[in-house]
Amino acid sequence: MSHTITIKVRGYHLDLYRHVNNARYLEFLEEARWSFLESRGNLESLDKSGHTFAVVNININYRRAAYMGEVLHITTSIKAIGARSCVMHQLVTLQGTDIVIADADVTFVLVDTRTEKAAPLEGELREAMEWMAKPT
Q: For position 90, which CATH number holds? A: 3.10.129.10
Using one digit for the tens of pLDDT, what is the confidence trace for 7-55?
999 999 999 999 999 999 999 999 999 999 989 877 777 888 889 999 9
Domain span at 105? 2-133
> Catalytic annotation on 105?
no
Catalytic residue from among 15, 47, 98, 112: 15
Burial class (CB in 10 A: 0-12, 13-18, 19+), 84: middle
pLDDT of residue 41: 72
- Which residues is 53 bridged to in the sheet? 110
Using one digit for the tens of pLDDT, what is the confidence trace for 57-102?
999 999 999 999 999 999 999 999 999 999 999 999 999 999 999 9
The arithmetic mean of pLDDT across residues 113-134, rounded, is: 90
